[in-house]
Amino acid sequence: MIVDVTHPETGETIKVDMPNLNESTLADLQKEHTTNQQLREHLERLPVSAEVKAILFNLAKFTIRAGETIILLGKRLVEVGLTLANKYPNATMGVIVAALLSALIALVPVIGPAIVSFLAPLMMLYGLVDGFLTDFKSSKPKLAEDIREATAFAAA
C-alpha cells in the first residue's frame, strides 16, 4: 500500500510503499487505545525527564496517510512504548521509543528524514549511537522481538 508521509517540520510529503500494510493491519493501526489527555497523563507518570516527555508527546501528533485514511502512527508508537515500558520495567521508555523509531527506519529508510526530528533528540539525551539497535537485539532479545512485531506492518 502506498502511504503519504509528511515531514513534520518542512511539510514536504513523500510517497512510501509499505507492502505489508493491508486492510487488516490498517484497521489495527487505526485503533486508538487512549485519548490524548490520558496519554499525557500516562507520560507524566514516567520516571523520565520533562524534555523526553515533551518529545514523546510531540511524536504522538505525527500522522501518515494511506489513501483517505489517516493513521496516527506516532500515537501508536508511544502507546506501544508505554505498554512495553510497563512490560519490561528495566528498560527506559525513551530508549524503547528510540528503538521503535530506529526499527521503523531500518525497515523503511525513506521515512527516516520525517521521523529523525523525534529520534535524534532521544538518542542525544540517552547517549545512544547509530546502530544501537543491534546491541539492543542481543542484550534484550525478548523486548527486541516485541519491537519487531510492533513494527511488522512496515516490513517489506
Q: Is residue 117 at the binding interface for other proteins, with CB under 8 A as the rule?
A: no
Length of the chain: 156
Q: Is residue 33 at the binding interface for other proteins, with CB under 8 A as the rule?
A: yes
Q: Is residue 10 at the binding interface for other proteins, with CB under 8 A as the rule?
A: no
Q: Are 58 and 16 in contact (CB under 8 A)?
A: no
We find the least distance from the C-beta atom of residue 29 to other proteins, in angstroms, to be: 10
Q: Is residue 20 at the binding interface for other proteins, with CB under 8 A as the rule?
A: no
Q: Are 42 and 21 in contact (CB under 8 A)?
A: no
We find the least distance from the C-beta atom of residue 22 to other proteins, in angstroms, to be: 13
Q: Is residue 145 at the binding interface for other proteins, with CB under 8 A as the rule?
A: no
SS3 per residue for 59-124:
HCCCCEEECCEEECHHHHHHHHHHHHHHHCCCCCHHHHHHHHHHHHHHHCHHHHHHHHHHHHHHHH
Q: Is residue 46 at the binding interface for other proteins, with CB under 8 A as the rule?
A: yes
Q: Dihedrals φ, ψ of 72, to 5°?
A: -80, 75
Given 44, 61, 134, 141, the residue binding other proteins (CB under 8 A): 44
CB nearer to other proteins: pick between 12 and 51: 51
HSE (side-chain half, CA atoms, 13 Å) at 27: 2
Q: What are the grid coordinates assigned to 38, written together?
A: 490520558
Q: Is residue 120 at the binding interface for other proteins, with CB under 8 A as the rule?
A: no
Q: Give me the residues that bind other proteins (CB under 8 A), please.
A: 28, 31, 33-34, 38, 40-41, 43-51, 53-54, 57, 79-80, 82-83, 86-87, 125, 146, 149-150
